[in-house]
Structure 1
Amino acid sequence: MAEPGSLLQTAVVFLLAAVLIVPLAKRLQLGAVLGYLLAGVLIGPAALRLVDDPQSVSHISELGVVLLLFIIGLELSPRRLWVMRKSVFGVGMAQVLLTGLVIGAVAMFGFAQPLKTALVLGLGLALSSTAFGLQLLAERKELTSPHGRLAFAILLFQDIAAIPLIALVPLLSSTGTAPDAGSDLGQLFKVLGSIGLVVIGGRYLLRPVFRIVAKTGLREVSTATALLVVIGTAWLMELAGISMALGAFLAGLLLADSEYRHELESQIEPFKGLLLGLFFISVGMTADIRLLFAQPVLVLGLTALLILLKLPLLVLLGRLPGGLGAHSALRLGVVLAAGGEFAFVVFQMAREQGLFEPRLHSLLVLVITLSMAVTPLLVLLVARLCKVKEQPREVPAEYREIDSDAPRVVIAGMGRMGQMVARVLRAQRVPFIALDTEVDTIELSRSLGRMPIFYGDPLRPEILHAAKTEQAEYFIVATDDPEISLKTTELVRRLYPHLKVIARARNRQHVHHLLDAGALPIRETFHSSLEMSRQVLLGLGLDEAQANQRIKRFQRHDEEVLEAQHRVYNDKAAVLQTAREARTELETLFDADSSEAPPQA
């Protein structure tokens, strides 16, 4: 047993490595998973040797995987799966089976691996990183794009497929020359009984228990109950001889539609994140980085082989059953071509069960880590190539042909703010023309009524001319991109100096730039924030007149401060000084209001 001092030292080393390396990896857009793996490599036996025994934390770190699968179960409500059934169980299942078959065949016939090892290897490498892939898509704002939605569906099925795969590993590792039918039948009943106990308990016991615990109002008891459910079902499954993760997943699935789902998720999430990070660090510690220096051709060649095997299959599935365009399918393939975190879980179990030799396991961990490391670079490369070559979606002729009477107002951008302005103008029968570069947005806006909305980039002078901008009185810049908004304002003011330009402003700095360009900036969240504040004041006891007076005073004061800051906004010290003086002045004004008319009780 380790000494208390060594345990504390190990904990300090792990936490210090995570605190230093993971933020750096995220800043470099490599993702938290890769940061944890890199931290494990650095502190492990292959590098600095700050922790010599990776197995010393393996049992605790496995709880991270258990909690992860519980969270996945919570998110997989049957209703949600049914809505996405075609993408999840169609394309997702095809991807896992086809990719697993191809990689398994290459492992078996190309590298002479046994059938069981090749099966686990193929299916494990068919899985991609959910955390890594979704993070990349979110950072690039592509989660709602066609390839982003399909990637989410595929990752969802992979998360589901990981459960039986984790349960399959111990079954494949069982050895024996003459199987005992009675023993096998007893084990089967044991497994079925355990699953039945979890299902029945989850349906009839968990909700009443959580209801009783919730009435106590003690958050720590509620958290302890959530952990008891997860770890208890995992322990029960382990007693039955199957995966702990399967029990946690079933518990989550049974509570997916309960009223306590979000509360459970918020209570488990911190433990899951910390323990899962510990798991990835322990995996990184087992990665033999010396292999990369000893056999660089082999390691880099296997990394390239993994990506080259998965990428064409993902592109093919994205094109045919997924219905994506060529470039969208390529983006899908690049995001999902690397290995994933569940492969670490599966391969760690395979090593412990004797299916993988230690050297094979180290090689696979290193290959998956490298494949994840190069993925952000490949995503950037493909995005740049697609930006040059990709043709936009075919725009119907009626969207391109700008045909309208002379407008009094031209709107650039038909997002949330543009649509609101258009609806008001239409209600007042004010003639206007709206421009947008998203076909889907134009279709949606036109479906709400026959509005004069056309396809066109307001940064092109010929489009502005076709929209008869010179005959308008107002030009509304409602685009959500600050840079495009500023460029549009500058172009319109240069070509049509008589026009009054009203522009959507993202923040105070954007306001200053728009003022310089000659536009009237409207802060997109300012007025809604004032209304929220007014409602709070009313709820806290002020009457209507008092609340309105305070809000108007704040608004007037803030606008005066903004005007003063505009004169010095390039001088950071002057802006900070102005903000400090304004805060003091505002407090004085509100104190005066309070002394004149105290809030009602």
Structure 2
Amino acid sequence: MAAHGGIDLVQVVILLAAGVIAVPVFRRLGLGSVLGYLAAGLVVGPFGLKIVSDPQAILHAAELGVVLFLFIIGLEMEPQRLWALRKQIFGLGVLQVLACGAILTVVGILLGFGPAVAFVFGMGFVLTSTAIVMQVLEERGELATEPGQKIVSILLLEDLAIVPLLAIVAIIAPTGEGGDFMSRFIGIGVALGTVIGLVAVGRWILNPVFKFLADAKAREVMTGAALLVVLGAAVVMEMGGLSMAMGAFLAGVLLSTSSFKHQLEADVEPFRGLLLGLFFLAVGMALDVSVVISNWQIIALSVVAFMLVKGAVIYLVARITKSGHAEALERSVMMAQGGEFAFVLYTTAASAGLISGPTNNIFTATVILSMVLTPFSLIALRYLMPKRQQSMEGVEQIPDGLHGQVLVIGFGRFGQIATQPLLVLKHRVSIIDNDTDMIRAASQLRFKVYYGDGTRLDILRAAGAGTADVIMICVDKKESATRIAELLRDEFPLARVYARAFDRGHAIELLNTGVEYQIRETFESALTFGSRVAQALGATADEAAEVIAGVRGRDAKRFELQQMGGGITAGRDLLISNAEEQAREGGVSTTGPDEAETGDREQV
């Protein structure tokens, strides 16, 4: 039943429920959130349970999710950073689009389509799904990495490519006027004028406006203004003949250096996530199962042929541009599908009479199926690809006969600080680590670090564990630290071992393996931090030092009790009784037992 005003709240509730149920399930299965949304959309759509009857209307509304997503990406792309990517955007991006477009057009002709239709089919498939790829990169935390930046650059160029592609469709369409080139030039001029106007507004108007709104202290107005900027830029760019997504991206870039950047991102983020999920739901709903069934041979052949050929060309382009095998293969699999801008191109071609309605349905189904298959392809790649090997360039293996007074295993944040007093006192320190990037970075600071995995007995022998006066275990993984401590206890029982502990339980575990000294990695820094806060609240330095000494003493008693077998509960009871006693003496409040049991659960 529709609500007053024509809004069907039942459909809204069902769409939200479908996403809320499907996405966590699919993520738990390791299939990703995108596939969860697509599957949910297929189930509730007109070709599933028929709960939603007009997926195209939802798809048009949900495209705002892609718009907002590109705005947030634009906020992270400061002009200097974007300028630094110019070679990748207009070099790597153009090369991939042209190569894939030419080969896929040939594939379309081989599949039986006419040259013009094959061109539209192939070029539409070239336009990778920005939403899917960006979502995958964001979930992996790879947007800021070098391979991620290359993919982002290519996606930006593909988004730009929709403009000339739409112009080409208008020219080659049978209804197009061959001599109407003046309108084409006018269209190009309007597009350029739109971009220049938007840049001018962003350069001289937006910051003063947001400053005025911020001074008004109205949070909801700031949120409305953020949405106005994004959607306004998208609409203006669309009116100028460009894509809405590019307008939003350009608005983000223009505001990337603004002092209101983080406020804008926080205001837009909730809408972006919700609408982007709705976009994937709508794509799943738009998959016409009847079209797939009646044309399954040509659709299946097209999906397989286009994804394989496009993936192969992307791989070759990546290798030609000096990307490694693993990076090239991952890029080819991630970008082998068609994308949302293909729908725009195919619809425009159908409206212009270049392709028929049934052909448009076949092309659209091909793109949607390729988008559905992408998460599965990425999962298969993850399991089939061998584990990435670290580059050993500029890294030295442990030489024979390495000796030092102190052997340091692990040279991360903890190890770097812990070794500095020893180096100042002129002790001979040997350092090993198995992170090649860190070793290269350390060499630039004139630290000599050798490559070696401390969990291997042969590496410990070669590193001089048998002759070192002290061995420092500074690795950040507690399983590795425990394993190294056990090896040292069994093979070098006379070694004096000092270890970094992850938490209280790990500290007890290390002591049980025979280490001479352990320290929990955050304990002392937390005490210092608490002391400074106490002084900021009015305590004198002496009072703060006395309180910290009391905390340290009670912690030592509790730790000793737990090590002797009293367990966490006994240690916690001692903590509570001591805290209550101190509170009675000092006249301060303290948490009750229920509150004391929460938080870190005695893990510090």
Q: What's the TM-score bracket when you normalise by the shorter of the two chains?
A: 0.7 to 0.9
Query: What are the within-5 Å matches in structure 2 for residues 247-266 of structure 1?
Result: 247-266=247-266
Match of 2:347 in 1: 351
Q: Equivalents in 1 of 2:588, 2:306: separation in Å?
A: 74
* Stretch of structure 1 that moved more, 268-277 or 555-564: 555-564
Whether 2:502 is the aligned partner of 1:506: answer: yes
SS at match of 2:430: strand
Q: Equivalents in 1 of 2:106, 2:67: separation in Å?
A: 30
Q: CA deviation at 1:461?
A: 2.3
Match of 2:71 in 1: 70
Q: Equivalents in 2 of 1:397, 1:243: separation in Å?
A: 48
Q: Deviations over 1:29-74 (max 9, x none)?
A: 3222222212211211222222222134233212212212222222
Q: Is the 8 A contact 1:128 1:155 kept in 2?
A: no
Aligned to 2:134, which of 109, 131, 136? 131
Aligned to 1:410, which of 404, 407, 415? 407
Aligned to 1:554, which of 547, 551, 556? 551
Query: What are the within-5 Å matches in structure 2 for residues 583-598 of structure 1?
Result: 584-585=576-577, 587-589=579-581, 591-592=583-584, 594-595=586-587
Match of 2:22 in 1: 21
Q: Equivalents in 2 of 1:115, 1:479: separation in Å?
A: 57
Task: Specify the code of the residue in structure 1 equivalent to 2:580.
Answer: T
Q: CA deviation at 1:217?
A: 2.4
Q: Is the 8 A contact 2:68 2:268 kept in 1?
A: yes
Q: Is the 8 A contact 2:307 2:370 kept in 1?
A: no
Q: CA deviation at 1:275?
A: 0.9
Q: Deviations over 1:449-498 (max 9, x none)?
A: 264x3222223323222222122232212222332222222111110112
Task: Specify the code of the residue in structure 1 equivalent to 2:399.
Answer: E
Q: Equivalents in 2 of 1:592, 1:485: separation in Å?
A: 41
Match of 1:483 in 2: 479
Q: Deviations over 1:115-143 (max 9, x none)?
A: 551353242148794334425644xxxx4
* Stretch of structure 1 that moved more, 6-15 or 456-465: 456-465
Q: Deviations over 1:328-354 (max 9, x none)?
A: 5444544x34426xx124425633662
Query: What are the within-5 Å matches in structure 2 for residues 27-426 of structure 1?
Result: 27-87=28-88, 89-112=90-113, 114-125=117-128, 129-135=132-138, 137-138=140-141, 143=142, 149-168=145-164, 170-174=166-170, 176-178=175-177, 180=180, 183-184=183-184, 186-289=186-289, 302-324=302-324, 326-334=325-333, 336-339=334-337, 343-348=339-344, 350-351=346-347, 354=350, 357-382=360-385, 386-387=386-387, 393-394=391-392, 399-404=397-402, 406-426=403-423
Q: Deviations over 1:539-569 (max 9, x none)?
A: 2332222333333433444454455455669
Q: Deviations over 1:514-552 (max 9, x none)?
A: 333333443223333333333322223322223333334
Give me the TM-score of the superposition, normalised by structure 1: 0.85
Task: Specify the code of the residue in structure 1 equivalent to 2:37.
Answer: Y
Q: CA deviation at 1:26?
A: 2.0
Q: Is the 8 A contact 1:43 1:51 kept in 2?
A: yes
Q: Equivalents in 1 of 2:377, 2:145: separation in Å?
A: 22
Q: Is the 8 A contact 1:435 1:457 kept in 2?
A: yes
Task: Specify the code of the residue in structure 2 equivalent to 1:588.
Answer: E
Task: Specify the code of the residue in structure 1 equivalent to 2:422.
Answer: L
* Stretch of structure 1 that moved more, 347-356 or 205-214: 347-356
Aligned to 2:434, which of 432, 437, 451? 437
Task: Specify the code of the residue in structure 2 equivalent to 1:543.
Answer: T
Aligned to 2:467, which of 454, 461, 471? 471
Q: Which runs of 5+ in 2 are unaligned?
A: 591-604
Task: Specify the code of the residue in structure 1 equivalent to 2:520.
Answer: R
From the superposition, tell whether residues 564 and 219 of structure 1 become closer, same or farther in structure 2 (CA, over 3 Å). farther
Q: Equivalents in 2 of 1:191, 1:220: separation in Å?
A: 33
SS at match of 1:103: helix
Q: CA deviation at 1:227?
A: 0.9
Q: Equivalents in 1 of 2:393, 2:156: separation in Å?
A: 38
Q: Equivalents in 2 of 1:352, 1:525: separation in Å?
A: 60
Q: Equivalents in 2 of 1:581, 1:301: separation in Å?
A: 69
Q: Is the 8 A contact 1:26 1:35 kept in 2?
A: yes
* Stretch of structure 1 that moved more, 180-189 or 484-493: 180-189
Q: Equivalents in 2 of 1:479, 1:272: separation in Å?
A: 39
Q: CA deviation at 1:256?
A: 1.8
Q: Equivalents in 2 of 1:48, 1:512: separation in Å?
A: 57
From the superposition, tell whether residues 516 and 116 of structure 1 become closer, same or farther in structure 2 (CA, over 3 Å). same
Q: Is the 8 A contact 1:99 1:310 kept in 2?
A: yes
* Stretch of structure 1 that moved more, 278-287 or 118-127: 118-127
Number of aligned positions between the proteins: 575
From the superposition, tell whether residues 412 and 47 of structure 1 become closer, same or farther in structure 2 (CA, over 3 Å). same
Q: Equivalents in 2 of 1:11, 1:76: separation in Å?
A: 34
Q: CA deviation at 1:241?
A: 4.5
Q: Is the 8 A contact 1:21 1:35 kept in 2?
A: yes
Give me the TM-score of the superposition, normalised by structure 2: 0.84
Q: Equivalents in 2 of 1:84, 1:206: separation in Å?
A: 25
From the superposition, tell whether residues 24 and 545 of structure 1 become closer, same or farther in structure 2 (CA, over 3 Å). farther
Q: Is the 8 A contact 2:66 2:131 kept in 1?
A: no
SS at match of 1:470: coil
Match of 1:493 in 2: 489
Q: CA deviation at 1:205?
A: 0.8
Q: Equivalents in 1 of 2:89, 2:238: separation in Å?
A: 29
From the superposition, tell whether residues 567 and 103 of structure 1 become closer, same or farther in structure 2 (CA, over 3 Å). farther
Q: CA deviation at 1:12?
A: 0.7
Q: Which runs of 5+ in 1 are unaligned?
A: none
Q: How high is the sequence identity, in percent, across the aligned residues?
A: 32
SS at match of 1:541: coil
From the superposition, tell whether residues 253 and 454 of structure 1 become closer, same or farther in structure 2 (CA, over 3 Å). closer
Q: CA deviation at 1:285?
A: 0.8
Task: Specify the code of the residue in structure 2 equivalent to 1:554.
Answer: V
Q: CA deviation at 1:281?
A: 0.8
Q: Equivalents in 1 of 2:158, 2:564: separation in Å?
A: 59
Match of 2:530 in 1: 533
Q: CA deviation at 1:359?
A: 2.8
Task: Specify the code of the residue in structure 1 equivalent to 2:509.
Answer: H
Q: Is the 8 A contact 1:475 1:499 kept in 2?
A: yes
Task: Specify the code of the residue in structure 2 equivalent to 1:268.
Answer: V
Q: Equivalents in 2 of 1:536, 1:303: separation in Å?
A: 62
